[in-house]
Structure 1
């Protein structure tokens, strides 16, 4: 059994961890007797963002040795227009992932047709669409893409 570690976070440090533990929250509270779904999870996240600003708020997650190291998220990958179609994005992507010891890589791309070239590049690099997200109120839709890593 992996070793479990505990750490305490307060304020802004705790706020930054919402995305890390929200999937666990969703899993636990989907079970009976709660039966919570996506709307409930979104409501919890909203309440968490309010509570974390209160004085004295603490978050103590329990993690195993592998937690947080199985997935790598590409947040931004951008190439200036004059440099596109030269393999630069592919080279940046390859160097970014080089040596990573993770099970999967995720990224998001806008859903509009104009994002088609980026979406096509990601597909050519082994990503597949895994879902759709709207990361914040009023945000456009994004396609969530996933790439499994070879062992």
Structure 2
């Protein structure tokens, strides 16, 4: 048994030396492994201002959404700015995060140290946000604006 483990170790070292795995394949394999928990990473919609009563007074009111996942929350405010929309968001608890707005005209950005971000000129239609902070990554459901 011990001889088998020594042989396996030698074969691993030889493979690493003479036929290393290309870095892009390691990245693809890592992403595929993370994909196994895609259902666990889907953020729950915990608040949508369209689900409640509509204010009687005033003009247009922004749509407010809150998503929660993996001990984090993502607060969004969506407002119409002419022919496009504006998304203002914050990751809670506040911290830097990589944000990807998926949909028409995808956008990738990094929040500030308080977890805040703004995306202007978002076309009408469905969008989803992928948020990655450290080891935690989650995706919102698709929302139509």
Higher relative contact order (CA 8 A, sep 6+): 1
Q: Answer with 1 or 2: which has the greater Rg.
A: 2
**Would you tell me which structure has more strand in proportion to its own residues?**
2
TM class by shorter chain equals under 0.3
**Would you tell me which structure has more helix in proportion to its own residues?**
1
TM-score, length-scaled by structure 1: 0.26
TM-score, length-scaled by structure 2: 0.27
